[in-house]
Amino acid sequence: MQKVSILGCGWLGKPLAISFLSRGFSVKGSTKTEDKLTFLRKENINPFLVDISQQEISAEFLESDILISAITSKSEDDFARLISKIEQSKIKKVIFISSTSVYPSLNKIMTEADETDNHPLVIIENLFRKNTHFETTIIRFSGLFGGERHPAIWFQKGRKIPQPNGFVNMIHLEDCIAIIEKIIAQNCFGETFNACSNHHPTRKDFYENARKSKGFEPPFFEENEVLNWKIISSEKLQKTLNYQFLVDDLLWDSEFKI
């Protein structure tokens, strides 16, 4: 039985843990909030209170084969501390959840070989990547939606959406989970992957469709004179893992499949 520890049982970590349990994994999950421990326990997730900004990080939590980091922290110092704890543990495989926000908008298709911004996540990625005590695969997810994250409720109270003629880079929760499971099943570590749907409608079409699917009024858009965009390519991930996206038409479903 493979043992997995998921750092951060939130929007992604919690359903990921439940999916692993259904596949026969032993799962430990962390939260920073004490009152969420009972909820994790009810889902048969072995719960731990973990805050990487604190000096003490549970050694028992790190008694697993694989660690998945699914927290939003961008603190280099905190992750350096976590990595030192991983080095002392039995963990030999790590999946670090990063973001395609590390890429600048250069009006082109961006691949893993392209330059990144001076972004805190890039520094943290490199801390994991260069470590020789364990192997890490970096997943750079694009805009996340699914579950309670519905694009129709973004940009509320008259907030204008910028760059309406630019393109969206999005990935559904179902694909996030499936990709992580594929990486583990294929033992595909030591890689960096972009993870983004192949469909890139304009921001105008995407958000108008999202609002319409919920019966909301159309959104407001900025009138940007200079067009800034990027399109994230997931070609490497699809070829390496032989992966097909589960949600790959972002305008297809009137219920937005969420």
Does position 255 have pLDDT exceeding 70, yes or no? no
Q: How far apart are CA 153 and CA 165, in angstroms?
A: 20
Question: Is residue 31 a part of any domain in this protein?
Answer: yes
Task: Please name the residue that has the structure tokens 């719960």.
Answer: 47
CA distance 138 to 44: 27
78: left (phi over 0), alpha (psi -120 to 50) or beta: alpha
Residue 130 scores a pLDDT above 50: yes
Q: Is 215 within the bounds of a domain?
A: no
Q: Report yes or no on 129 lying in a domain.
A: yes
**Is there a domain that residue 82 lies in?**
yes
DSSP state for residue 149 in the 8-state scheme = B
Residue with tokens 């790959």: 248
Q: Is the pLDDT of residue 160 over 70?
A: yes
For residue 220, tell me if it sits in a domain: no
Total Cβ atoms within 10 A of residue 31:
22
Domains identified in the chain, total number:
1
Q: Is the pLDDT of residue 174 over 60?
A: yes
pLDDT digits (tens, 9 = 90+) for 38-94: 999 999 999 999 999 988 899 999 999 999 999 999 999 999 999 999 999 999 999
pLDDT bucket at 157, cuts 50 / 70 / 90: confident
pLDDT of residue 258: 47
Judge whether 257 and 210 are in contact, CB under 8 Å: no
Query: What is the mean pLDDT of the segment spanning 18-35?
Result: 96
Tokens of 141: 């997810």
Please indicate, yes or no, if residue 236 is contained in any of the structural domains. Answer: yes
Residue 55 belongs to a domain: yes
Residue 120, domain CATH: 3.40.50.720
CB contact at 8 A, 121 and 101: yes
* 205, two tokens: 């079409």
Residue 192 has a pLDDT of 98
pLDDT (tens digit, 9 = 90+) per residue, 184-242? 999 999 999 999 999 999 999 999 999 998 899 999 999 998 999 999 999 999 999 99
The rounded distance, in Å, linking the Cα atoms of 132 and 97 is: 19
Q: Are 185 and 210 in contact (CB under 8 A)?
A: no
Q: Using a pLDDT cut of 90, give the percent of the chain over it.
A: 91
**What is the distance, to the nearest Å, from the Cα of residue 140 to the centroid of all Cα atoms in its chain?**
7
Structural domain boundaries, residue 52:
3-147+171-198+232-241
In a domain? residue 254: no
pLDDT, one tens digit per residue, over 83-116 is 999 999 999 999 999 999 999 999 999 999 999 9
